[in-house]
Amino acid sequence: MGPGSPCIDWIVMKRLVLTPLAAACLAAGNFLAPCAAAQTPGNDAMPPEADSRFEIGRVEVRGQGAGPLQAKRLFSSVDVVAGELVQGDAVRNTWELFRRVPGVLLTEFNQGTTSGKLSLRGFNGEGEVNAVKLLIDGVPSNTNDGNMPFIDLVFPLDIQSITTVRGTNDPRYGLHNIAGNVDITTRTGGNDTDVRLGGGAYGLADLQLAKGIEGGEWTQNYFVGVRHSDGFRDHAQSDKFSLAGKWFYQPSGANWQAGLIVRHHEHTADEPGYLSAADAQATPKLSYAISATDGGKRQLDQISLRAEGTAGKTLSWQTMVYQNEYSDERWVRFSASASQQERDTYETHQGLRASASWRPSVNGLASLVVEGGVDYEHQSDRSDRYNSTARARVSQTRGQAWDLDITGAFVQAVIKPVASLSLVPGLRVDQLGGGFTNRLSNLSFPVNDYGLITQPKLSAIWAVQPGQTVYANLGRSFQVGVGSATFKIPPRTSDLSASVNDGWEAGWKFQGLTGLMGLTGRVALWQQTASDEVMRRLNDPSNDSDNIGSTRRRGLDVQLRAQPVANMEAWLSYSRQQATIVTPDPAAPTTRGKALDHVPHHLYSAGLDWQATSTLRLSGWAQGQTDYELDRNNDKGRFGAYTLLNLGATWQAAKQWELGLTLKNLADRRSEYVWWDTASKSDLHSPGDGRALYASVRVRL
C-alpha cells in the first residue's frame, strides 16, 4: 500500500485498528527508509522539532513564549490556512472557503440562508449529527444543534488564518467537538486600510473593508462587508451585511492585555427549492411555483470580552466571557404534497472560558508544559414551527423552550523526555444540566442525567530526523441529543447515556525531500467508532432524535505539496473515508453493515500556482468527490459525484492595487445536492452553479 494509493486495503486497516502506535511504527518503517537521503548534511547535531501541522500558504508564526499551547502541539492532523489565500476568494458564503482545507466535506444546500456547511472525518453535513466545533477568535460559535450559522459573521477579507484540528484527541473543547474543531482567527493589529470590490456571475456584488489602527497602548480593528447575489437559480436572491470591531489595550510595560470584540450580521434570502431529477438535468435554474414565498431572514450577534497575561517566566493565563445571539426565521416548502413551514429559532448563549499554562523546568526532561482550563455555557433557546400558506400562519406544530448548561474542565501536558520525542496525555470532563418546556402543552421535563462525561486523550510524536515526523493518538469525544432529545421526555422515562466516540490516528509528516521537488506532505490513517449514535430528525415537529446504533468511520488522508520548477507550486489532497452502521438499532435491523448517508468515499483536490512574473500570479485547480447514498437503507440510488475545474489570475497592477479574475467550473460541469424526501417518496435535487466568471479590485493603503 503506497501513500498515494487511491484505494486502501481495509483488511490491513482492520489490523492497524488494534494497535495505532504500531501503525505509526509501520508508517515509519515503510515510508521513511526511502527518504533517508533527504536528511540535510550538517544537521545531525540539531535536535529535530516534532510538528504534525500542515500549513497552506504563508502563515505568520509567533514565538510560543509563555502563551497557551498552540494547536500544532496537539499532534493530530492540524491544517493551518493563511489568510492571504482566502481573503481574495470569490464566494457567496464563508463556508465555501473550506475548499482550501484538505479532507473537508462541503454540503451545498443552496437554499437561501441555509446555504451549506462543512464536516469532517466521515460525518455528513445533513445536520443530523453536527460533529465540528466552530470557534471565531476562540469564541464557541455553534448553535444548540451544532450547526454553524455564526460562520457568516466573518467575511473572507477579515480572516487572518483558519486552523482545523481533526480527530478526537483535543481536550480543550467538549460539546460538538466530536470529529474535530475549526478556529477562524480574524485580523488583529496593523496600521492599514484594505478594500476589496468584487462582482461577476449571477449578480454577485461584494464590498469589503478592513481597517487596522495601532498607536500607543491601543490596537483597533474594524470591518464592514456587504454582499448581494441573484444566485445561479431563479428565486435565489441573497443580501448580507456584516460589521465588526476589535479593541485591545495593553498598558506600557505591563504583562497583560484586555480586549473587546463585537460582531453583527444580517442576512435575507429567497429559496429556490428542490427539483425532480429530470428538471434538475434539463432546466437547473428553474424554481417551482410552490417555492415562490420560500426564504428567510437571519440575524447574528457576538460579543466577547477577554484578558490574558503572564505571571513570571513560567505561567500564563487567559480568560474570556462571551454572548451569542441567534435569530432565524425561515419559510420552506419541500414538495407539492407538503405544506409550507415557518421555522423560527431564537437562541442566547452566554459563556465563560479560563485557562492557564505552566512551563516548569524539570530535571531529566527536555521540557514540560502543563495546561488546564474550565468553561461554562448557559443556553436559553426557543424553537417554534407553523404550517403556513404564503408565509401566513395556519397552525402551530411546535412550541418549545429550554435552558441548557454545559460545564467542562480539561488538563493536558506536553512531556518531552528528549528533544525529539513528545508525549501528550490529556483528560476532559463535561456535565450537562437544564430544563425543557413544551409551550403547547405547558409541560416541563428535566435534562437527561448523563453524569460526568469523561474523555481521556493520549498523543505521541517522534521527530525521527529533521523533516521527518511520525505520530499517533488515541482519544474519546462525546455526543448527546440536541433540541428536545437532550431531555427526559416521555416515552423516555430513564436517563440516557452519552454516546462516546473512540478514535485513533497514525500518521507521517515529511517536508523538503531533496530529489523529489522539495516534496512536503502528510499521510494519516484514522478510525472513529461511536456507541449508540444519535441522529436528529430533521423534519420532525417533536425536534427529537433517533438512535441508529453503533457506527464506525475510518479513512486515509494524503496531502502533498511540491515545487516542480522555480516559482511554481503543485499541491494535491486526497481522502478515502467510510462510514458504516456496525450494530443497528433493533428497530432497523436491515441497516446492519450499510453505509451512512451522504458520505462520499473519496474527496480530492489538486492544483498549480505559478508566479509567472513579479506582478502576475496564475492558478489552476480541480476539486471533487464521488457519489453517496441517500439514506441508511442504501436502496435509493447514489448521487452527488462531481469534478470541477477552476482558473485564477492575480495582477499586481501597482504597489497598492491588485486586480483579480476567477473562472469557476471551467467545463460547465453539473454538480448537485440530493436528498430523499419521505413525504413525496422521491429524490429531490438542488443544482450547483454553472460556469462563472468573477472579477475584483483590491486596494491596500
Cell for 203?
449578480
Distance CA 568, CA 562 (A): 9
- For 178, 181, 257, 326, 647, the CA distances from 142, given in Å and listed in that order, are 13, 11, 27, 10, 33
- Which residues are CB-contacts of 679 (< 8 A; sequence separation ≥ 6)? 334, 335, 337, 338, 539
Task: Please determine, for residue 15, whether its predicted confidence score (pLDDT) is greater than 50.
Answer: no
Residue with cell 464592514: 224
406's enclosing H/E stretch is: strand 392-418
| Residue range 130-141, pLDDT digits in tens | 999 999 999 999
Q: Which has more pLDDT, 85 or 15?
A: 85
Confidence of residue 17 (pLDDT cuts 50, 70, 90): very low
Task: Please determine, for residue 59, whether its predicted confidence score (pLDDT) is greater than 60.
Answer: no
Distance CA 248, CA 187 (A): 12
pLDDT at 480: 94
What's the CATH class of domain 10-700? mainly beta
Q: What is the mean pLDDT of the chain?
A: 89
CA proximity to 164, closest of 273, 268, 251, 59: 59
Average pLDDT of span 184-207: 95
Domain definitions of the chain by residue range: 10-700
Cell for 473?
493518538
Write the single-letter amino acid at 483: G
Distance CA 475, CA 173 (A): 13
Average pLDDT of span 668-688: 95
17's enclosing H/E stretch is: helix 10-17
Q: Which residues pair with 207 in a beta bridge?
A: 197, 226
Average pLDDT of span 278-291: 97
Angle formed at CA 439 by CA 437 and CA 440, multiple of 5 degrees: 130
Average pLDDT of span 217-240: 97
Residue with cell 457567496: 92
pLDDT at 466: 84
DSSP 50: P
Confidence of residue 511 (pLDDT cuts 50, 70, 90): confident
Average pLDDT of span 606-621: 94
Query: Is 412 within 8 Å of 368 (Cβ atoms)?
Result: no
Dihedral (CA of 49, 54, 59, 62) sign? negative
12's enclosing H/E stretch is: helix 10-17
Average pLDDT of span 242-257: 95
Task: Please determine, for residue 450, whether its predicted confidence score (pLDDT) is greater than 70.
Answer: yes
Cell for 304?
466577547
pLDDT at 67: 60
| Residue range 372-402, pLDDT digits in tens | 999 999 999 999 999 999 999 999 999 999 9
User: Whats the size of the chain, residue-wise?
Assistant: 701
Query: Is 196 within 8 Å of 696 (Cβ atoms)?
Result: yes
DSSP 48: P
Cα radius of gyration (the chain): 25
CA proximity to 86, closest of 182, 147, 183, 159: 159
| Residue range 400-433, pLDDT digits in tens | 999 999 999 999 999 999 999 999 999 999 999 9
Cis peptide bond N-terminal to 102, omega within 30: no
| Residue range 311-333, pLDDT digits in tens | 988 999 999 999 999 999 999 99
- Written as one string, the DSSP assignment of 489-550 is -TT--SPPPPEEEEEEEEEEEEEEETTTTTEEEEEEEEEEEEEEEEEE-TT-TT--EEEEEE
Average pLDDT of span 577-583: 96
pLDDT at 53: 62
pLDDT at 467: 83
Say what percent of the chain tops pLDDT 70: 89
| Residue range 527-574, pLDDT digits in tens | 999 999 999 988 888 988 888 999 999 999 999 999 888 899 999 999
DSSP 595: B
Average pLDDT of span 206-221: 95
